[in-house]
Structure 1
Amino acid sequence: MAMDTERLNECMNRIARGWFQAMPEGQWTSAQLFWAEAGGIIYSSTIAADIDGQPRTVSQPKDVHDALRELREGMAEPGRGTWISVSMSLTPQGVLETNYNWDRRFYWGDQEGFPWAPDTRDGAVDSPSDDQFLAELERFPREPMMIPAWYPRRGLAEQSAGAASTDDATHAVNPDADARFTEVLASKGALPEDIRPLMDAWGWPGIVESVRNTIAHAIRQVPEELKSALAGEQGDEARAKALVEFRDGVAKGAMASVYRSGSIVAIRLVQEYHAVHGGTLQGVDAFANAAPLEQYREEAAMRPVIELIFSRILAIATTDLSARFGTEIPA
């Protein structure tokens, strides 16, 4: 976390002090604050319960909003971004409790289930919009596996159908690329059957996007000596060998982003995998709050975690490239 403890405490004190001063003295028993920012717009609601238990709206002073915005920016982490919204409670005794939401979409409005349920009434439009959330992703970038499944993406393929990404197709017209590889880049990839159910699970849509982004980059950068083999100009055996080499490089490149993340990321990916497909992987729960993954690559309990993730990344790359090149790539 970029923000040090002293600065964090200063922000929290400003929030508590400004909020407390905005409350009607002696006329409330509890208060709840929801605060979020998307696309440069602040979404904020503060509701206090009066002595009869009736809800009352409270208007927050500017300094509370400034402190919350500073807190959100200060808590941003490289590769993880920052929290999407925060919920706080305040008591008349001045006790402030905080719950940060890093992964869940919120919906603004007066609909039932606010802020976690969308407005399903006729003509309702989601607020914030997808563009606003995309603006936040540009402002606070996340590595692919840190992007929740619901998060809008520019250029992410229609995963359930296995279609090629719009972004890849847009970039496919490269005057320096061989026409054959421009065609491969623009063609449709595919997903392994056991990956498709994971497209609503935490982290896995980002893994798929990471593989496909790596494929797109690799295809644009194919060295000439490998290009002729991949094109089949050196015979079928040479082409099969070149495809395996190319696929393995893609998988290792996509896996590198998992290596850069903490062990908790790898463990959560595996937990989500087993939640969808069943089964368990013994011995990993103790690592849930462990140090960065780098320190545990050789630990017996972590090896199965990494092996499962890498095997699925390898399967995604194999299926996608097999579809693009129109030939089955050996496992």
Structure 2
Amino acid sequence: MSQPEPPREPGETEAPGTLDQHGQQEMIQRIGRGIVHSLPPGWQEVRVRYRAVGSYRELAAELIAPNGTGIPVAMTSEVSELFAELRHGMYQPQRGTWISATYRLSRPASYSVDFNGDHRPDWEQEPPHTEFAAELSQYPRATHNIPGWLAERAGLSAPRAATSPDQLHRADVFDGTDAVGRPVTNRQALTPEERDRVLEYLERAPVVLAARGYDSDRLDPYGKAAVPMTFHTDGSWIWPGAVGYYLRTHELAPQPELVEHIREHEFQLPYVDDEARELAVSVITAEQHR
């Protein structure tokens, strides 16, 4: 059960980002009490999802049956107001604030809250474009902290590093081959945490070219056909889908220059406009026809 709620400016008398850690925990507990007061007797587990951008808000809650089935349940308006205050208070300069939150409660006193500030929420109803621009006005972010989907919906045209084919960097899957054609690499492995963040960056970047089917895995003893035949770009670099595949499947890190580029962007994918995608396609197709 979910519906957009009337616009309201949270914390009208306070600047955004005024909640410290103690204040945030206190607000989270108040939300929990508000959720419990909205529930019918005998409940065991509930999941509440809150999504917001600009002044647009959605609230959806469901009881979780023992078999995992979700049963919609209504929340009081107080719960939505408290979520709005928490979102307002958790703003961080240059980083913005979260866009969606999932609050889970289980009897007798177990709870967890997950916040999402970067990924596109699964909206019940797509908010108006104006709300995305309002989000960045009310909760400003540094350019490199604006996810591509948010920049696009807000009507931004982020600058890109490459403006001509010779400025685009191309990533190689391997460092070379040995005398019998086997791939050779000499790269430092990524830590588990950094591996996941680099992998997310690689795989979330726009696909600008794709072929049907799969290429052979050159590190698999049987050479199974599992490697995606795609190309991605972030506007500065181009890389085959194989780069992400070998990192995910064989822990093979991308070439160090690409990893350093991703680190410099703090693992945040920039907005890639149509011109950047077209430039990447022209470079890839030119190389394929050589």
| Mapped pair 1:6 → 2:7 | no
What TM-score comes out, normalization by structure 1 length? 0.45
**1:228-307 aligned within 5 A:** 278-280=254-256
AA aligned to 1:95 is S
Name which of structure 1's ranges 49-58 and 95-104 shifts more when overlaid on structure 2.
49-58
Q: 1:129 to 1:158 in 2, by over 3 A?
A: farther
Between Structure 1 and Structure 2, which shows a larger proportion of helix residues? 1
SS of the equivalent of 1:46 reads: strand
Q: Is the 8 A contact 1:16 1:94 kept in 2?
A: no
Match of 1:194 among 149, 169, 174: 169
**1:58-73 aligned within 5 A:** 58-73=73-88
Q: Is the 8 A contact 2:64 2:70 kept in 1?
A: yes
**1:79-94 aligned within 5 A:** 79-94=94-109
Identity across the alignment (%): 24
Q: 1:154 to 1:6 in 2, by over 3 A?
A: same
**Deviation (angstroms), 1:155:** 4.4
Alignment match, 1:226 = none
**1:1-331 aligned within 5 A:** 2-26=18-42, 28-50=43-65, 53-109=68-124, 127-151=126-150, 152=152, 153-156=154-157, 189-190=163-164, 192-194=167-169, 201=201, 278-280=254-256
Bigger radius of gyration: 1
Q: Is the 8 A contact 1:149 1:201 kept in 2?
A: no
List per-residue Cα deviations over 1:146-170 (Å, max 9, x = no partner): 011222243416969x7xxxxxxxx
SS of the equivalent of 2:102 reads: strand
AA aligned to 1:69 is A
In structure 1, distance between residues paired with 2:49 and 2:134: 20
**Deviation (angstroms), 1:190:** 4.4
In structure 1, distance between residues paired with 2:116 and 2:264: 28
What TM-score comes out, normalization by structure 2 length? 0.50
- How many equivalent residue pairs? 177
Q: Is the 8 A contact 1:22 1:60 kept in 2?
A: yes
Q: Is the 8 A contact 2:90 2:97 kept in 1?
A: yes
SS of the equivalent of 1:150 reads: helix
**Deviation (angstroms), 1:55:** 2.5
SS of the equivalent of 1:33 reads: strand
Between Structure 1 and Structure 2, which shows a larger proportion of strand residues? 2
Q: Is the 8 A contact 2:169 2:238 kept in 1?
A: no
Alignment match, 2:216 = none
In structure 1, distance between residues paired with 2:92 and 2:29: 22
In structure 2, distance between residues paired with 1:306 and 1:278: 10
In structure 2, distance between residues paired with 1:146 and 1:7: 25
Q: Is the 8 A contact 1:35 1:42 kept in 2?
A: yes
**Deviation (angstroms), 1:82:** 0.4
SS of the equivalent of 1:141 reads: coil
AA aligned to 2:21 is T
Q: Is the 8 A contact 1:49 1:55 kept in 2?
A: yes
Q: Is the 8 A contact 2:54 2:131 kept in 1?
A: yes
SS of the equivalent of 1:142 reads: coil
In structure 2, distance between residues paired with 1:75 and 1:142: 13
Between the two structures, name the one with larger relative contact order (CA 8 Å, sep ≥ 6).
Answer: 2
Q: Is the 8 A contact 1:14 1:63 kept in 2?
A: no
In structure 2, distance between residues paired with 1:37 and 1:80: 16
